[in-house]
Homo-oligomer: A and B are copies of this chain.
Amino acid sequence: MCYNLLVIMKSKPKPNHGRRNQESRRALLEALKEMLIQHPLSSISIEVVAERAGVSKQTIYRWYHDKSALFIDLYETESVDRLMIPDMGSVEKELNELALQTWRFWRETACGQAFRQLVARCQSNLHASNQLRDDFMPRRRLFVTQILNRAVARGEIENGDCEVFTDLWVGFNWYHLLTNSLNDESIIPTMVSILLSGVMRK
């Protein structure tokens, strides 16, 4: 049910028998993006998104279980490769870069504010909550584990405790996002160094 961007993009361009209409998907995400600039996610109804995108409600429900899923599609589409950190030869450099990019992405696009709304919404919607935890977050956490895996390969850090490390990483960033404190980037290196101390090879 959940739409997979990459698979679609790689499939041959010959379109449409009973397959998803890419045009309507694009219009949908575009409409949502524009609306997110002015309104919090919670005040944006599926009804209005559909109307604005020139798409029927049913089409939304066909591809997305709810508003959150729609936003997630947008979020992932927008953040693709912005948070893909290249090999910089050092886990410390890469983690610093990832945190910096994440904070900037959140500050500079509508996505930061929108993600806050998404988290908020999940606090009163069981399905959205499960989806966030089991579907969306694992994909986000990959950006971190990728870096960690490279570091393991380089022999920089021990292999293990990767999940808890990522919990701490994500928690730190969420906390700053959710309390509106993404401004002081100077604390990032400290955070990285505290975390790395716990996993560095002696």
A-side interface residues toward B, CB under 8 Å? Answer: 40-43, 116-117, 119-126, 129-130, 132-133, 137, 161, 163-165, 167-168, 170-176, 178-181, 187, 190-191, 193-199
Contacts of A164 in B (CB 8 A): 187, 190-191, 194
Contacts A167-B175, A168-B172 given; does A194 touch B191 at CB 8 Å: no
Verify A168–B187 contact, CB threshold 8 A.
no
Complex CA distance for A116 and B198, rounded to whole angstroms = 29
CB distance from A148 to the nearest CB of B (A): 12
Structural contact, B120 and A124, CB atoms closer than 8 A:
yes
Q: In the bound complex, what is the Cα–Cα distance between A121 and B116 (angstroms)?
A: 10
Whole-angstrom CA separation of A124 from B117 in the bound complex: 7
Q: A42-B126, A120-B120 are in contact. Are A137 and B179 (CB under 8 A)?
A: yes
B191 & A168 in contact (Cβ 8 Å cutoff)? yes
Of all chain B residues, which has the CB nearest A41? B124
**How near does chain B come to A115, taking the closest CB pair, in angstroms?**
9
Residue in B41, B121, B130, B171 whose beta carbon sits within 8 Å of that of A175 in the complex: B171
What is the CB-to-nearest-CB distance from A166 to chain B, in angstroms, rounded to a whole number? 10
Q: Which residues of B contact A178 (CB under 8 A)?
A: 119, 122-123, 174
Q: Are A181 and B133 in contact (CB under 8 A)?
A: yes
- The answer to whether A161 and B190 have CB atoms under 8 Å apart is yes
Known contacts A163-B187, A198-B197; A174/B176 CB under 8 A: no
A-B residue pairs, 6 tightest by C-beta:
A194-B198, A171-B171, A171-B175, A197-B198, A120-B123, A120-B120
A69 to B133, CA, bound (A): 27
Q: Which B residues are CB-close (under 8 A) to A41?
A: 123-124
A-B CB contact pairs (8 Å), 18 listed: A41-B123, A41-B124, A42-B126, A43-B126, A120-B120, A122-B178, A164-B191, A165-B194, A167-B175, A170-B171, A170-B175, A171-B171, A171-B172, A171-B174, A194-B195, A194-B198, A195-B195, A195-B198
